[in-house]
Amino acid sequence: MPIFRLGYSLLKVSVCSVALTSELMATTLERFSEPFQEPEFLPTQSDFGGVGLIQMPSGRMAKEGTFSFSAIENQEYQFYAISLQLLPWLETSIRYTQVEDVLYNPSKAFSGDTKYTDKGIDTKVRLLKESFWLPNVSVGLRDLGGTGLFDGEYLVASKRFGDFDFTLGLGWGYLGTRGNVSNPLCTYSDEYCSRSSEYSGNGGEIDYNRWFTGPSSLFGGVEYQTPFQPLRLKLEYDGNDYSSDFPVIRPEANIDMTPKTPWNIGAIYSFNDSANIRLSYERGTTISLGFTLSTNFDSLKSPLFDEPIPPLGNQQAKSLDEVNWLNVSNELTSIAGYDKEKFYVADNTVSVVAEQSKYRDRNQAIERASAVLSNHMPDNIEYYNIVETKKNIPVKSDIVSSKGYRKVAEVDYFNPTISDTLLDITAPSIKNQTLVHNEFKRFSTSLTPHLDQSVGNPESFYIYSLSLRGGASYWLTDQLEVSSSVALNLIDNLDELNFDTPTDHTSNYRVRTLVRAYVRENDIYLNNLQLTWFEKYGKNWYQQVYGGYLESMFAGVGSEILYRQKNSNWAVGADFNIISQRNPSSYFDTYSDENGYSNDTKVLAEGTTGHFSIYYQPDFSLLENTRIQLDIGKFLAEDRGVRVDFSKQYKSGIIVGAYASLTDMSAEDFGEGSFTKGFYLSIPFDTVSLKPTNTRGSVAWQPITRDGGQMLGKRYSLYNITDVVSPWFQRPNQN
């Protein structure tokens, strides 16, 4: 069961839609105003997703950060593809394909009239960048780790001459079935002369032994940018003869896809750089129609609407006794984004201990806070000590010279910045300072919509559940919090689901494949109820201890520790948990017997899970602005191994990541998919909202959910809580 999860707030999506619509209208009008101006030759998507001609790929790469969604339909297939230019030299694509006239399962009782749906992952790597004499050269893999419906490999080059972009490539597998040239690798080894028709396990495994084997074919074509800027034409020679396509080989379809010609022709009409429609005539027999929507994660900017920084005034208090601390607190919240403030005083220093909820750029927050304090504090206050906390843990401390700030505000010298006012001195310990005002509220609540989506299911291509999530927390002490989250289901189509667990004949603990029972059982569900103790030791050690209903499927107790230095590109941590699987038919019960759900379904009545974690942000150019996370240990189904998580952050702050769990559970025991893998997108809301915010929303996708390699969904992560120590999620927008 592939799962999409969209977190935090659907209201932001509407804001994003309005912004995107405005951008499309503005750029469309701009384009139509000068339709015959010199065009920028931007690469376009192929039918399969990814930069290419029509059916065939090209050697081109999109601009780094380009994110595209394409939908194409013809007589035999419906393609839905997402493509991302992850790095300047690396393109990735995810594709869903529905096959006409072929059912998901021959039994209509199992999947009804749902069309056969194939999931595919493609990747392309640039080997050579185009120069005056040399072309762009790339190598790619199509349907990587899939079930073989479209799997193939290719080496391709593209070279531009004026308004013409020429492509020539050599394809294997699906791209080489025409077999118009001998496989050049046969001269190296006879093993490359034939291609195995067998696939490892149930899909999901990478069949290295099939790569670049069997028949091969030349393919190529040309793309022409017409003088009318919105219009582009394509001509392509296809390397596929369509003899092995599903509609041909499946007896229930028995469709003749024999090409009348190897040539495909097409046209693309672009409304702007973000949207186009396409029409193509392929194989001399079929028409394809589709569209592409694009944006660039690297170039999105933060909003321009914000409270102005207050100018320096001359109405400061004469002494601390005259300071209106409530007004200071309100201004720090509205102007500088600091919440839940505590104010301390020691000699010539005022300390503000608070959470930052508005600015990813902490220098901007500090400058604004300094402006507020400068307009309220008496002249004898020489230092502002701004201590940022998260979950009452101090994670960042900055000392600002009050005199230094006034020089910056008055522009007393060339190009002053707030960094000039920051002092490398140690402030008095908060424990030794006097608390003069406290705006910290122990009780807080939240209410947000939440959308769970599942794509590519047997019963229906799209399954969804829209719920309203209410959260509450109360601080029993400054370190001990009780928190909860309850979900109220609003609307769904979960009644279309026919089964709770897949018939995969595995004997694993159903730690995740039982998820359908949890989402179907109750309209009101307790997601989380736990006690959490937070602690910091010295400068670099952090800990949390927790117990209760830890997530929707598990209860238990556990602890996590983290070592993280200021401005360091690495951190290490570990967690250990004793857990019991929750009963989906009860709000509070957990299972005491592994056969408590049914005699043929095992649940984890009692177990342990935990990992040693390594976090690393590479500082070399090839992997610039990326993060690697390794979690080594014991997973929920009692399998042992490692999860590898790789993510890339763009200038806007948008993060795209992928993960894979490799454990000692065999591919046969795992079932379909062979190992757990997934993708996620983390979006800072200040790129789509009208005012600054440092909150994020996320979308996650697992192609298929199985029990191996699954981790506990803890409410809090110390790495996330301490992010500002060496920022990853809280990096400022670079645009």
**662-683 pLDDT per residue, tens:** 999 988 888 777 788 899 999 9
Q: Which candidate, 619, 429, 433, 616, places its Cα nearest to that of 539? A: 429
pLDDT band at 35 (very low <50, low <70, confident <90, very high): low
Query: What pLDDT score was predicted for residue 502?
Result: 66
- Tokens representing 415 are 């190009």
Decide if pLDDT at 286 tops 50: yes
Residue 173 Ramachandran class (φ > 0 left, ψ -120 to 50 alpha, else beta): left
Query: What pLDDT score was predicted for residue 25?
Result: 44
- Tokens representing 447 are 């209410």
Q: What is the pLDDT of residues 491-512, one digit of tens each?
A: 988 777 776 666 666 788 999 9
* Cβ(48)–Cβ(150) below 8 Å: yes
Query: What pLDDT score was predicted for residue 18?
Result: 38
Q: What is the pLDDT of residues 545-557, one digit of tens each?
A: 999 999 999 999 9
Q: Which candidate, 92, 42, 54, places its Cα nearest to that of 220? A: 54
pLDDT band at 11 (very low <50, low <70, confident <90, very high): very low
Q: What is the pLDDT of residues 90-143, one digit of tens each?
A: 999 999 999 988 877 777 767 677 788 888 899 999 999 999 999 999 999 999
What's the whole-number average pLDDT of the chain? 89
What span, in angstroms and rounded, lies between the C-alpha atoms of 554 and 713? 9
Which of 458-462, 590-594, 691-695 is least confident?
A: 458-462
Decide if pLDDT at 9 tops 60: no
Higher pLDDT, 202 or 394: 394
Three-point CA angle 405, 406, 409, nearest 5°:
85
* Cβ(340)–Cβ(435) below 8 Å: no
Query: What pLDDT score was predicted for residue 24?
Result: 46
Q: What is the pLDDT of residues 182-232, one digit of tens each?
A: 999 999 999 999 998 776 545 556 778 889 999 999 999 999 999 999 999
Helix (H, G, I), strand (E, B), or coil: what is residue 197? coil
- Tokens representing 281 are 């005539």
Dihedral sign of CA atoms 343, 349, 353, 356 in order: positive
**DSSP letter (8 states) at residue 65:** T
Decide if pLDDT at 714 tops 90: yes
In this prediction the pTM is 0.89
Name, in order, each residue with C-beta under 8 angstroms of 110's C-beta and a sequence gap of 6 or more.
104, 458, 498
Helices assigned H by DSSP within 34-172: 108-111
Query: What pLDDT score was predicted for residue 685?
Result: 94
Query: What pLDDT score was predicted for residue 335?
Result: 96
Q: Which candidate, 25, 29, 83, 86, places its Cα nearest to that of 57? A: 83
Decide if pLDDT at 67 tops 50: yes
Decide if pLDDT at 732 tops 60: yes
Which of 46-55, 305-314, 570-579 is least confident?
A: 305-314
Higher pLDDT, 476 or 666: 476
What span, in angstroms and rounded, lies between the C-alpha atoms of 275 and 289? 14
Dihedral sign of CA atoms 535, 541, 546, 550 in order: positive
**Helix (H) or strand (E) run with residue 402 in it:** helix 402-409
Q: What percent of the chain has pLDDT over 90?
A: 71
Q: What is the pLDDT of residues 290-337, one digit of tens each?
A: 999 999 999 998 877 888 999 998 889 999 999 999 999 999 999 999
> What's the whole-number mean pLDDT along residues 9-17?
38
> What's the whole-number mean pLDDT along residues 258-280?
96
- Tokens representing 521 are 């059982």
Q: What is the pLDDT of residues 368-387, one digit of tens each?
A: 999 999 999 999 999 999 99
Query: What pLDDT score was predicted for residue 19?
Result: 41
**Burial, 132: exposed, middle or buried (Cβ in 10 Å; 0-12, 13-18, 19+)?**
exposed
> What's the whole-number mean pLDDT along residues 504-532?
86
Which of 114-118, 230-234, 391-395, 726-730 is least confident?
A: 114-118
pLDDT band at 343 (very low <50, low <70, confident <90, very high): very high
Decide if pLDDT at 28 tops 50: no
Amino acid at the residue 717: S
Decide if pLDDT at 580 tops 80: yes
pLDDT band at 8 (very low <50, low <70, confident <90, very high): very low
**Residues 698-721 as b or e (16 or more Cβ within 10 Å = b):** eebbbbbbbbbbbbbebbbebbeb
Task: Supply the angle between the helices 402-409 and 362-374 in degrees, to the nearest 10.
Answer: 100
Q: Which candidate, 508, 511, 457, 516, places its Cα nearest to that of 668? A: 508
Query: What pLDDT score was predicted for residue 417?
Result: 92
**Helix (H) or strand (E) run with residue 408 in it:** helix 402-409
> What's the whole-number mean pLDDT along residues 703-719?
93
What span, in angstroms and rounded, lies between the C-alpha atoms of 211 and 204? 15
Three-point CA angle 287, 39, 653, nearest 5°:
90
**Burial, 249: exposed, middle or buried (Cβ in 10 Å; 0-12, 13-18, 19+)?**
exposed
Count of CB atoms situated within 10 Å of the CB of 25: 12
Residue with tokens 């939908």: 71
DSSP collapsed to 3 states, 354-388: EEECCCCCHHHHHHHHHHHHHCCCCCCCCEEEEEE
Residue with tokens 């670099």: 540
> Going edge to edge, which strands form the sheet with 383-390?
422-423, 393-401, 383-390, 349-356, 338-346, 434-438
* Cβ(473)–Cβ(485) below 8 Å: no
Count of CB atoms situated within 10 Å of the CB of 585: 11
What span, in angstroms and rounded, lies between the C-alpha atoms of 644 and 615? 10
Q: What is the pLDDT of residues 253-265, one digit of tens each?
A: 778 899 999 999 9
Decide if pLDDT at 358 tops 90: yes
**Burial, 477: exposed, middle or buried (Cβ in 10 Å; 0-12, 13-18, 19+)?**
exposed
Query: What pLDDT score was predicted for residue 327?
Result: 96
Q: Which candidate, 226, 214, 205, places its Cα nearest to that of 174? A: 214
Q: What is the pLDDT of residues 155-184, one digit of tens each?
A: 999 999 999 999 999 999 999 999 999 999
Query: What pLDDT score was predicted for residue 17?
Result: 42
Helix (H, G, I), strand (E, B), or coil: what is residue 452? strand
What span, in angstroms and rounded, lies between the C-alpha atoms of 285 and 295? 33
